[in-house]
Structure 1
């Protein structure tokens, strides 16, 4: 990896930290606090949220018909998602200890907190829970697979790939064979350290 790329990666990390700080500041401006797993809004804001919630009848009348028609297809994906969740969790539980890789905490990726929003009715909360599970599960899978890729083959592709995981930028350049085995072992050792 060149010095320029290391510098850019360091700048990206700094920007990510600044973004996290800005998001925390925004949370305080939105009048909510996070207490463990619980999100608490100021009392007046909770009351305003409750006033904005639409009833189930209003929601059904105003809802787009095509969304209702595709609902069974969308929610039918719950079965494959659950199966993927089971398989990837089993894989990690069995293989990561053997490889010496620190396990991915599922709770860092699959987060259910939108049910604390009083302006959502029960159907909207259900939709949000499903989407949080699906997107969180894909992020959880991506992190498990990216650690596996770092262990076995931390080499970039020759062609540009969209949607790279966060580890990809630090991988070896395509065709850079100098000290490959030694550097591969360094990547593996790094996976045994907590992030």
Structure 2
């Protein structure tokens, strides 16, 4: 990775941190507090939210015919999602322990907090729970997959791929044979020391910066 690429990566991290601060500021403005993964609302907020709650009958009356008849198809995805959830959890419990990779915390990716919103009826809350689980499981599996890729093949593709995981940006350049042979162990050591080094935005220093600079054009 060139120096310019490192600077861009740091800028991305800084912007993400700034965005997180703005999101937290907006939550506080709406009367929301989060402490130890517990969500709390300021007094009076829940009462105001309930005033905007729509009955299930009114909700269904406003729903399109297509939305209603496709609901069973949407919820049928629960079976493969549950299987993925179980299978990927067993995979990392067995393989990550064998490889010495820090395991992914499932609760960091799957959260069912939106059910506490008083302005949602039970159908809307159920839909939110489904979306939280579906996207959470996929994100959980993606992080497990990204750690696996960093362990076995931390190499960028020659072809452009859409929305790669965060670890990808730290991977070796396509065609950097020397870097792969000399730095693979260092990439693996980062996972053993702290599996969240890149995924949580810290973007730890590269294992051997001098090798990167030699490989840079």
Q: TM-score, normalised by structure 1?
A: 0.97
Cα shift readout 1:46-88 (whole Å, capped 9, x = no counterpart): 1111011011111121122111100110001100000011110
Which residue in 2 is equivalent to 1:151? 151
Does 2:92 match 1:92? yes
Q: Is the 8 A contact 2:172 2:179 kept in 1?
A: no
Query: By how many angstroms is 1:3 displaced?
Result: 0.8
Q: Is the 8 A contact 2:104 2:144 kept in 1?
A: yes
Q: TM-score, normalised by structure 2?
A: 0.87
Query: By how many angstroms is 1:16 displaced?
Result: 1.4
Q: Is the 8 A contact 2:110 2:137 kept in 1?
A: yes
Which residue in 2 is equivalent to 1:111? 111
Which residue in 1 is equivalent to 2:206? none
SS in 2 for 1:52: coil
Query: By how many angstroms is 1:174 displaced?
Result: 0.4
Which residue in 2 is equivalent to 1:168? 168
Query: By how many angstroms is 1:179 displaced?
Result: 3.7
Where in structure 1 are there 5+ consecutive unaligned residues?
none
SS in 1 for 2:14: helix
Which residue in 2 is equivalent to 1:20? 20
Cα shift readout 1:82-126 (whole Å, capped 9, x = no counterpart): 001111000000000111100000000001110011000000000
Where in structure 2 are there 5+ consecutive unaligned residues?
197-217
Number of corresponding residues: 195
SS in 2 for 1:103: coil
Aligned CA-pair RMSD? 1.0
Query: By how many angstroms is 1:37 displaced?
Result: 2.6
Q: How does 1:1-40 map to 2 (within 5 A)?
A: 1-40=1-40
Q: Distance in 2 between matches of 1:103 and 1:72?
A: 34
Does 2:89 match 1:80? no
Which residue in 1 is equivalent to 2:199? none
Query: By how many angstroms is 1:188 displaced?
Result: 0.3
Q: Is the 8 A contact 2:154 2:184 kept in 1?
A: yes
